[in-house]
């Protein structure tokens, strides 16, 4: 193990230890806020598979996120008593099905055409959910009871804020380690080759379209998992989370934190959400926080093009 790897894993263990301890020392609001950062970070990390590693900017992640929420809501409303693992399966099935449908058509296109196609698909699903009131609740969404945390009948415990935080942390950490291993595998190397030079990757014999479809499906599954966690935390699913603005914020998280790093999008999500919360507390809820956030975002693009994590890496290397 090299010196950089030792530093990396030591830092990873320290951060994990702090996140595990956090619910024991933080007030109720900040526990929920930290859990929400992890969930949005997972959504941003899922989009980094496309943006950072495959070179495909997607504005359709709100559809995967929202369908994960509604899939979990369907399971929790249909099955009694509510089952956590069934909600996760339903959410992943919904997000994965939509991801396969979107991938089949959109991966035939490149660059801005791919981005616009994913945006159109997300808006189609938004309109369907918003107008299909009998099934989705329409504008009011769906509310449900939070399931208990159980492991195959061995034990069952209700979710309080601390238990939910630890569960979300475990899911996000496992997702990061899985995606990190995938991106370092030959499959991940091919995705990075597509990002750098798609025609050459195709010329040497790789079925580029198949790799893109798998990348979109993988990204959609983890986005759907983030939607399931968000639904469980807040006990509702609403069409607002399928709207394209969620996809736009996800792209901002990636750019702020550092694309192509997996960890960077989580850092970007935390920075964005914390800054928005602090601006709201300083100037009031009616303050147009997007204006100063916009200026900060522009400044970061100009002076920190590699994002916060890229800047931290350069500083540590020096």
Query: For 308-317, what is each residue's pLDDT tens digit?
Result: 887 777 776 6
- The per-residue pLDDT for range 282-309, each reduced to its tens digit, is 776 666 777 888 888 888 888 888 888 8
- Rounded average pLDDT over 239-259: 90
* pLDDT tens by residue, 59-93: 888 999 999 999 999 898 888 777 888 899 999 99
The conformation of residue 141, written as its DSSP 8-state character, comes to: -
CA dihedral in degrees (98, 100, 104, 109; nearest 10)? 70
| Whether the predicted pLDDT of 177 surpasses 90 | yes
Structure tokens at 80: 């009694």
Looking at residue 278, its pLDDT comes to: 86
What proportion of the chain, given as a percentage, has pLDDT over 70? 96
* pLDDT, position 153: 62
Q: Which tokens sit at 232? A: 């469980």
Task: Indicate if the pLDDT at residue 217 is higher than 90.
Answer: yes
3-state SS, residue 108: coil
112 confidence band (pLDDT: 50, 70, 90): confident
Collapsed DSSP state (helix, strand, coil) of residue 149: strand
pLDDT at 80: 77
Average pLDDT, the chain: 87
> What is the pLDDT, as a whole number, of residue 170?
94
- pLDDT for the residue 317: 67
**Average pLDDT over every residue of 50-59:** 90
Peptide bond between residue 68 and the one before it cis (omega within 30 degrees of 0)? no
Q: Which spans in the chain are helix H?
A: 3-25, 28-48, 61-78, 84-106, 111-131, 133-136, 161-184, 186-196, 198-203, 208-234, 244-257, 263-283, 290-303, 307-317
The whole-number pLDDT of residue 283 equals 74
Q: What is the pTM of this model?
A: 0.93
pLDDT at 154 over 70: no
Reported as a single tens digit per residue, the pLDDT across 13-49 is: 888 999 999 988 988 889 999 999 999 999 999 999 9
> Which of 55-64, 87-96, 141-150 shows the lowest mean pLDDT across its residues?
141-150
Question: pLDDT tens digits for 3-13?
Answer: 777 777 888 88
């Amino acid at each position: 193990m090299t010196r950089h790897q030792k530093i990396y894993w030591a830092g990873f263990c320290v951060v994990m230890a702090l996140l595990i301890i956090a619910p024991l020392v933080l007030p109720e609001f900040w526990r929920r806020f930290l859990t929400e950062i992890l969930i949005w970070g997972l959504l941003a990390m899922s989009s980094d598979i496309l943006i950072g590693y495959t070179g495909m900017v997607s504005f359709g992640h709100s559809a995967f996120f929202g369908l994960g929420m509604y899939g979990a809501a369907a399971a929790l409303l249909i099955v009694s008593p509510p089952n956590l693992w069934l909600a996760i399966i339903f959410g992943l099935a919904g997000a994965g099905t939509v991801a396969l449908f979107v991938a089949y058509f959109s991966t035939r296109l490149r660059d801005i055409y791919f981005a616009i196609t994913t945006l159109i698909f997300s808006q189609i699903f938004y309109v369907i959910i918003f107008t299909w009131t009998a099934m989705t609740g329409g504008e009011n969404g769906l509310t449900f009871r939070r399931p208990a945390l159980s492991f195959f009948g061995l034990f069952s415990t209700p979710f309080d804020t601390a238990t939910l935080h630890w569960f979300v942390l475990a899911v996000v950490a496992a997702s990061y380690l899985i995606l990190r291993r995938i991106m370092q595998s030959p499959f991940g190397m091919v995705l990075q080759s597509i990002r750098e030079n798609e025609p050459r990757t195709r010329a040497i014999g790789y079925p580029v379209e198949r790799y893109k479809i798998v990348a979109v499906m993988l990204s959609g599954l983890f986005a759907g998992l983030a939607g399931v966690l968000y639904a469980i935390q807040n006990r509702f699913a609403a069409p607002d989370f399928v709207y394209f603005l969620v996809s736009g914020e996800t792209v901002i998280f990636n750019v702020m934190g550092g694309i192509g790093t997996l960890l960077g999008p989580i850092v970007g999500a935390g920075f964005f959400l914390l800054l928005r919360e602090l601006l709201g507390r300083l100037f009031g809820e009616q303050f147009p926080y997007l204006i100063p956030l916009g200026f900060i975002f522009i400044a970061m693009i100009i002076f920190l093009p590699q994002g916060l994590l890229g800047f931290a890496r350069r500083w540590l290397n020096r």
